[in-house]
Amino acid sequence: MGKDIREDIAWAQINNDVLKSLENPRKLYWVILFAAMLVFSVGVGCEIYQYNVGLGAANMDNPHMWGLYIATFIFWIGMSHSGTLLSAILHLMHADWRKPIYRFAEAMTTFSLMTAGLFVMVHLGRLWQFYYAVPYPSERWTWPNFQSPLLWDAMAIFTYLSSSVIFLYIGSIPDFAIARDNIHPGWRKKLYSILALGWEGTDRQWRNFRVTYLTVACFLIPLAVSVHSIVASDFAMSQQPGWHVTSFPPYFVAGALYSGCAAIITLFIILRYVFKFEEYMTLPILKKTVRLTFAIAMVWTYLNCIEFTATWYSHDQVAKDVLIQKATGPYAPFFWGMIFCGSVVPFAMMVKKWQTSIPVMFAVSLLLNVGMWLERWMIVAPTYSHGYYPWTWDHNQWPSLIQWGIVFGSFGWFTLLFMVFCKIVPSVSMYEVKEMVYHRSLAKKKEELGLEGGH
């Protein structure tokens, strides 16, 4: 395997290459941005229609109360996992190959969470009555139910979102200072001057920076695990058939890491090309990310088996019926699609030659995320279609185009935010890439000296 990064890249060149990405991306950047705006506007149009007409426009009914909205909400929450969590874990483990890729992964976390939050609002239908859900004393005497995982969810997501934004921002301060010092005068310089907070790279600043970054990273690891465990509790603590499974929290956490890693690969490949980051987002780093994704894919597959087995042997006939219905009923193509994309496609990552093949890995990462989206849909919809009471069965419900349109639009919203971010904030951490280059060049020097000493 080649080197993660060349040791002889000049530090000034790192600044130049990354800062250039803020001003001169390839044309594909604008194509992606335009496409994202188009897709997002489809979603906005659908939401306006649903807002005016009511939730019936989504073809939601009783028992199908959550539909694609909550499935997609879980998908986006899951997507958010890998960014900050992996960045924090790899930081604690001193895995320096994270350095060129963690910034965009953390941004992915932030924007996925923002997209997920939208779905809670969209799913409510009556947006104008959102304040009913907010805990404050009022004459209605309506306090939130503190024993409900839905409330824990709101708190956990708020904590994760704000902590992730802080983690992203703190880690970017030295880079804002670099941008402030090296970019030509204009609105960008003013913006970076504000964001850099007067950073000068003094020993006092670095000393406190290191401890802060490490501390926040330590907080983020249990936080990220708790967020998706709590999302899993939304399901596992209910009495619905197919959801009341003990292994749901680790299953959700593994699924979240999995889809997040797959998304990191997709975005890695896009950014590498669009911003000409071939020197920093190197193939050996892609290979490491791919191997990590494969390992998580196998954990997810194992937990899937656990879930199916637990249901099969649980003596809960209705839960078993839901499982059989998933595999043989109207949802079968999607269920098997999930199994294929989530458990079979990852084996492509075992082929050494493909681990560094950009087109193959791009296609694989997209398929993995299709599988992970299907997984969330297969958790929500089949259970609602086949409850404990036969008179609530509704096996043939199909989401309306409005519902599909809003889900589709969310991908545009995420891409739009992400691409705008990458044009404003350096998506490769310049100071950390310099550290990486510095440490590797020191190691190389030591190695050479050792060799000379040996002679």
Partner 1 sequence: MSKRSILALYNNFDEAEAVVKELRTTTIKGFDVNDDLIIKSPIEHPEVEEFLGNKPVNIQWFTLVGALSGGLLAFFLIAGAQGNFYAQSKGGKPIVPFPPDFVLTYEMFILGGVYITVLGFLICAGLPAKRSPLYSAKVSEDQIGILVDAEESAAATLKGIFTKHKALEIQEEAGK
Provide the binding-site residues for partner 1, judged by CB under 8 A: 10-12, 15, 135, 137, 141, 143, 146-147, 151-152, 155-156, 158-159, 162-163, 166, 170, 173-174, 177-178, 180-182, 197-212, 215-216, 219-220, 222-223, 226, 230, 431-432, 434-435, 438
| Among candidate residues 276, 315, 361, 334, the one with its CA nearest the CA of residue 25 | 276
The residue written with tokens 């044009």 in the block is 423
Cα 403 from chain centre: 22
Spatial separation of the C-alpha atoms in residues 73 and 6, rounded to whole Å: 40
Spatial separation of the C-alpha atoms in residues 361 and 348, rounded to whole Å: 9
CB of 206 to partner 1, least distance (A): 5
Closest to partner 1 by CB, 74 or 196: 196
CB of 164 to partner 1, least distance (A): 10
Closest to partner 1 by CB, 151 or 363: 151
Cα 454 from chain centre: 49
Closest to partner 1 by CB, 67 or 83: 83
Closest to partner 1 by CB, 204 or 353: 204
CB of 283 to partner 1, least distance (A): 25
The residue written with tokens 């805990």 in the block is 135
The residue written with tokens 């937990």 in the block is 303
Peptide bond into 222 cis (omega under 30): no
Contact 30, 268 (CB under 8 A): no
CB of 78 to partner 1, least distance (A): 19
Closest to partner 1 by CB, 94 or 315: 94
CB of 449 to partner 1, least distance (A): 14
CB of 388 to partner 1, least distance (A): 23
CB of 426 to partner 1, least distance (A): 12
CB of 106 to partner 1, least distance (A): 14
Which residues are within 8 A (CB) of 407 and not within 5 positions of it... i.e. 6 or more apart?
Answer: 43, 68, 69, 72
Closest to partner 1 by CB, 20 or 26: 20
CB of 3 to partner 1, least distance (A): 19
Which residues are within 8 A (CB) of 94 and not within 5 positions of it... i.e. 6 or more apart?
Answer: none
Closest to partner 1 by CB, 34 or 143: 143
Query: Tokens representing 77?
Result: 């929450």
CB of 454 to partner 1, least distance (A): 24
Q: Is the dihedral of CA 213, 97, 433, 107 positive or negative?
A: negative
- Using only the alpha carbons of the chain, give its radius of gyration: 24
At residue 455, the 3 state secondary structure works out as: coil
Closest to partner 1 by CB, 163 or 400: 163
| Among candidate residues 442, 419, 385, 402, the one with its CA nearest the CA of residue 44 | 402
> Got the DSSP string for 386-442?
S-SSGGG--TT----HHHHHHHHHHHHHHHHHHHHHHHHS-SS-HHHHHHHHHHHHH
Closest to partner 1 by CB, 54 or 222: 222
The residue written with tokens 């935010």 in the block is 417
Query: Tokens representing 90?
Result: 């790899």
CB of 186 to partner 1, least distance (A): 16
Which residues are within 8 A (CB) of 119 and not within 5 positions of it... i.e. 6 or more apart?
Answer: 69, 70, 72, 73, 76, 410
Spatial separation of the C-alpha atoms in residues 421 and 39, rounded to whole Å: 18
Closest to partner 1 by CB, 205 or 301: 205
Closest to partner 1 by CB, 15 or 385: 15
